[in-house]
Amino acid sequence: MRLNRVSVVCFAIVLLSISGLSHAGVTSNYTRVAEPSEEMPLETFPPPAGLNAPEQVHITQGDQNGRGMIISWVTPINDDGSNIVTYWVADSDGSTKQSAEASTSTYRYYDYTSGFLHHATIKKLEYETKYFYELGTGRSTRQFSFTTPPKAGPDVPYTFGVIGDLGQTYASNQTLYNYMSNPKGQAVLFVGDLSYADDHPNHDQRKWDSYGRFVEPSAAYQPWIWAAGNHEIDYAPSIGETQAFKPYKNRYHVPYRASKSTSPLWYSIKRASAYIIVLSSYSAFDKYTPQNSWLENELKKVNREETPWLIVLVHSPWYNSNGYHYMEGESMRVTFEPWFVQNKVDIVFAGHVHAYERSERVSNIKYNITDGLSSPVKDPSAPIYITIGDGGNIEGIANDYTYPQPSYSAYREASFGHALLEIKNRTHALYTWHRNQDNEPVIADSLWVKNRHFLPEEE
Catalytic residues: 325
Render the burial of 133-150: b for 16+ CB within 10 Å, e for the rest. Answer: bbbbbeebebebebbbbb
DSSP 8-state assignment for residue 283: S
Ramachandran sector of residue 401 (left: φ over 0; alpha: ψ -120 to 50; beta: rest):
beta
Helix (H) or strand (E) holding 296: helix 290-301
Helix (H) or strand (E) holding 130: strand 130-135
Are 109 and 241 in contact by the 8 Å Cβ rule? The answer is: yes
The candidate with the shortest Cα–Cα distance to 295, out of 248, 252, 263, is 263
Cβ contacts of 302-305, under 8 Å, gap ≥ 24: 302/275, 302/343, 304/344, 304/453, 304/454, 305/154
Q: How far apart are CA 132 and CA 271, in angstroms?
A: 20
Helix (H) or strand (E) holding 290: helix 290-301
Q: How far is CA 146 from CA 45, 127, 208, 433, in A?
A: 23, 12, 23, 25
Count of CB atoms within 10 A of residue 442's CB? Answer: 10
DSSP string, 169-217: BHHHHHHHHHHHTSTT--EEEE-S--S-GGGSGGG-THHHHHHHHHHHH
